[in-house]
Amino acid sequence: MEKIIINGGNPLKGTITVSGAKNAVLPIMAASLLAEGPCRLMDIPRLADVTTMSEVLGFLGGRIVPEGPQEMEIDCSEITSVEAPYEYVRRMRASFLVMGPLLARVGRARMSLPGGCAIGTRPIDLHLKGFAALGASISIGHGSIEATAPELVGARVYLDFPSVGATENIMMAAALAKGVTVIENAAEEPEIVDLANFLCSMGARVMGAGTKIIKIEGVKHMRGVTHGVIPDRIEAGTYMVMAAATGGDVLVDNVITDHLKPVVAKLAEAGVQVKEEGSGIRVRSSRPLCAVDIKTLPYPGFPTDMQAQTMALMTGAQGTSVVTETVFENRFMHVNELKRMGASIIIEGHSAVVKGVPRLTGAKVKATDLRAGAALVVAGLMADGETEIAAVQHIDRGYENMVQKLQAVGADITREERDGEECRLCD
Ligand code: UD1
């Protein structure tokens, strides 16, 4: 079993270049199903989730040709299957994002039910509500969902919660529908804007992406195009937190600073020096930091995908911080692991009360999901002694070459085969 081994205490110094955004590339790859010709995607991160989405598209009949380390061509001119099997949906919930484009392109899509995952039940009712509003018939049975629609017709869809995935799936379905679709209370995440830009360059008519109301005027055909994916704001935020946690001085390069405003604001409040520099953000800190409260919210609020890493940072701050999770129901799996390293954390409902301690100590811990894994790396970099992180496959889902990127800025971190119990992928 591969594990990440960290000997903590080294301040990070140097430059880390951020890769393309996982949460942008996955819906964009799914949207390639809408095009009648090949799409060329650039700035693609090499991640396990990107491999899974390539496999899903290949299963549906797509032809995926990697072109260089960060590029790929996806040709979904011929769709030969309308079903995403359990094997893929179990491995990655975002497989569900092929449902909207499949419905729009061939009038039928069947998906295995994603089921629960480590961070909560994560239903898909809002995706289905959107498809039904556009005229699809939905049937659920034998562990799968089928949607059929000889013709999708534009409609008004109000989302009870600004779900990122539902907004994306409905946008993609509506792109080839007849007439106008309006999504109200839509998600405003930057990844939604990147998807909208991709769709528009393919010939779709999408207006208002990045606001709460998105209007899509359906078109008859969409063409293959070339598109570069935006940088990953969560990867950037994670390295900013790691720089702050180690009292380092790091230029986190290739970022869109606007996307990082909530993270920058909280780091500055904690006493970290954060400064825009060229195409990057320089983070300098000298410990100890001050405790700050965090409440996760849909964009432009503080991202739930940065909650675990920021909580790890707060375990070493001076004072007590309250970290409140409002987006997912069960996103505190990292708390028990952080406590194994000496953190003082009490969970009270949707909040975690974190009392800063002078030092964490290295321990054997396990990544329970992607961002929980990143939080353990933050803790390991701060801790005295050796931290051994198991189940690193979770980290591979969302961080390209994390170990190499951290080694290059002075971290004592390696990946090694060591004995230990198997952990199944659960998200
Ligand atoms: C996306 C991101 C994920 C991020 C999350 C929130 C991708 C591939 N993943 O996930 O990294 O943590 O946004 O920023 O982009 N919900 C419902 N019904 C639905 C859909 C969602 O109740 O039909 C609930 C979920 O259970 C959750 C909340 O809405 O509590 C947010 O989920 P959503 O925004 O849909 O997240 P994802 O698109 O799955």
List domains and CATH numbers for the chain: 2-19+231-426 (3.65.10.10), 22-228 (3.65.10.10)
Residue-level pLDDT at 103: 97
Residue-level pLDDT at 112: 87
Query: Is 60 exceeded by the pLDDT of residue 427?
Result: no
Prediction pTM value: 0.96
3-state secondary structure of 213: strand
Instruction: Quote the CA–CA distance of 383 and 135 in Å, as a whole number.
Output: 55
Q: Whose CA is nearest to atom 31 of ligand 1?
A: 163
> One-letter amino acid identity for 156?
R
| pLDDT tens for each residue of 203-227 | 999 999 999 999 999 999 999 999 9
List CB contacts of 170: < 8 A, sequence separation 6 or more. Answer: 100, 127, 130, 131, 134, 157, 181, 183
| pLDDT tens for each residue of 153-182 | 999 999 999 999 999 999 999 999 999 999
Query: Is 60 exceeded by the pLDDT of residue 198?
Result: yes
Instruction: Quote the CA–CA distance of 33 and 29 in Å, as a whole number.
Output: 8
Mean pLDDT of the chain: 94
Instruction: Quote the CA–CA distance of 393 and 382 in Å, as a whole number.
Output: 22
Read off φ and ψ for residue 238, nearest 5 degrees.
-65, -45
Tokens of 59: 């299963």
Among 117, 200, 290, 423, which one carries the catalytic annotation? 117
Q: Is the bond preceding residue 288 a cis peptide, omega within 30 degrees?
A: yes
Question: Do residues 218 and 175 make contact, with C-beta atoms less than 8 angstroms apart?
Answer: yes
Nearest to 367 by CA among 297, 296, 427: 427
Query: Is 60 exceeded by the pLDDT of residue 13?
Result: yes
The answer, yes or no, to whether any atom of ligand 1 lies below 6 A from the CB of 25, is no
Residue-level pLDDT at 90: 85
**345 C-alpha to ligand 1 centroid (Å):** 26
Residue-level pLDDT at 346: 98
Question: Do residues 363 and 345 make contact, with C-beta atoms less than 8 angstroms apart?
Answer: no
Q: Whose CA is nearest to atom 5 of ligand 1?
A: 164
Q: Averaged over 220-237, what is the pLDDT?
A: 98
Give the C-alpha distances (Å, rounded to integers) separating 416 from 50, 373, 413: 24, 16, 10
For the chain, percent of residues with pLDDT exceeding 70? 96
The answer, yes or no, to whether any atom of ligand 1 lies below 6 A from the CB of 195, is no
| pLDDT tens for each residue of 370-381 | 999 999 999 999
Residue 200 annotated as catalytic: no
Which uninterrupted H or E stretch holds 188?
none
**Lowest-confidence pick of 226-230, 236-240, 333-337, 421-425:** 421-425
Question: Do residues 45 and 232 make contact, with C-beta atoms less than 8 angstroms apart?
Answer: yes
Tokens of 208: 């208002």
**13 C-alpha to ligand 1 centroid (Å):** 34
3-state secondary structure of 399: coil
| pLDDT tens for each residue of 19-50 | 999 999 999 999 999 999 999 999 999 999 99
The beta-strand segments (E) located in 201-310 are 205-207, 213-217, 226-228, 249-253, 273-277, 280-284, 294-295
**Lowest-confidence pick of 289-303, 380-394, 413-427:** 413-427
Q: How confident is the model at residue 260 (pLDDT cuts 50, 70, 90)?
A: very high
The beta-strand segments (E) located in 113-195 are 137-141, 144-148, 156-158, 180-184
Residue-level pLDDT at 118: 57
Question: Do residues 371 and 22 make contact, with C-beta atoms less than 8 angstroms apart?
Answer: no
Tokens of 341: 């390293």
Name the residue with tokens 């799409």.
39
Residue-level pLDDT at 426: 39
Residue-level pLDDT at 121: 56
Residue-level pLDDT at 272: 98
The answer, yes or no, to whether any atom of ligand 1 lies below 6 A from the CB of 123, is yes
Q: Whose CA is nearest to atom 4 of ligand 1?
A: 305
**34 C-alpha to ligand 1 centroid (Å):** 22
Instruction: Quote the CA–CA distance of 378 and 311 in Å, as a whole number.
Output: 10
Nearest to 39 by CA among 225, 228, 227: 225
Q: How many CB atoms lie within 10 A of CB 164?
A: 22
| pLDDT tens for each residue of 69-123 | 899 999 999 999 999 888 888 888 899 999 999 999 999 999 988 654 555 556 8
CB burial of residue 9 (10 Å; 0-12, 13-18, 19+):
middle
Name the residue with tokens 């909280």.
266
Nearest to 170 by CA among 214, 122, 139: 214
Instruction: Quote the CA–CA distance of 122 and 116 in Å, as a whole number.
Output: 6
The answer, yes or no, to whether any atom of ligand 1 lies below 6 A from the CB of 333, is no
Read off φ and ψ for residue 304, nearest 5 degrees.
-60, -30
Give CA torsion, residues 91, 94, 98, 100, to 10 deg.
Answer: 140
